[in-house]
Amino acid sequence: MNDLTTAREALVAEALGEIAQVAERLETVVPAVDASREALMQASATLSDQLTSFEARMTAITENAKGVAIRHIAQRTDELARSAGEAQVRAMQSAATTLFRDELQPFLQRLAGSCQEQRRLARFDSWLTHAAAALLASALSWAIAAWMWAR
């Protein structure tokens, strides 16, 4: 049994030695962990500052993109409105041309023909009026001359 006790004591002593080595290693690791923690805290603060700067830049980029998009939409809207207006003008011109060609031109041709006929008849009527006035003047002159001669 004595051997067991010594073996146990040897194992305990060896375990205590290993625990002492682990404790020494832990003591050497603690400053490294503290330094890492400090570096991590500093990196976190730097990252936080960079994040604030990044957010400001992203806000500026977003505002710029919105402005570009709004200008593009306004430009396309103006172009579409202009092209729609031009299309309406062309459609109205086409409709007016068709209206004049199909509806008004035949009417105007009939009216022009009627006016020419009236003008031709009016020319004849004016000569007829002049001829009647000349004939009446001649008849009156002859009647007065005959009356004066008969007297």
Q: What is the pLDDT of residue 122?
A: 66
Q: What is the pLDDT of residue 27?
A: 85
Supply the DSSP symbol for 54. Answer: H
Q: Which residue has the tokens 């430009």?
A: 75
On the question of pLDDT at 79 being above 70, the answer is yes
Q: How confident is the model at residue 1 (pLDDT cuts 50, 70, 90)?
A: low
On the question of pLDDT at 141 being above 80, the answer is yes
- Spatial distance between the Cα atoms of 73 and 79, rounded to a whole number of angstroms: 10
In this prediction, residues 135-140 reach a mean pLDDT of 89
Neighbour count for residue 122 (Cβ, 10 Å)? 11
Q: How many CA atoms lie within 13 A of 57 on its CB side?
A: 6
Higher per-residue pLDDT: 47 or 127: 47
- Spatial distance between the Cα atoms of 36 and 49, rounded to a whole number of angstroms: 20
- Spatial distance between the Cα atoms of 1 and 6, rounded to a whole number of angstroms: 9
Report which residue type is found at 69. Answer: A
Taking the model in full, what pTM does it have? 0.43
- Spatial distance between the Cα atoms of 33 and 28, rounded to a whole number of angstroms: 9
Residues in the chain: 151
Domain boundaries, the chain: 1-110
Q: Which residue has the tokens 């030695």?
A: 17
Lowest mean pLDDT among 46-50, 103-107, 136-140: 103-107
Phi, psi of 5 (to 5 degrees): -65, -45
On the question of pLDDT at 45 being above 70, the answer is yes
pLDDT tens digits, one per residue of 101-135: 888 788 888 888 888 887 777 676 677 788 888 88
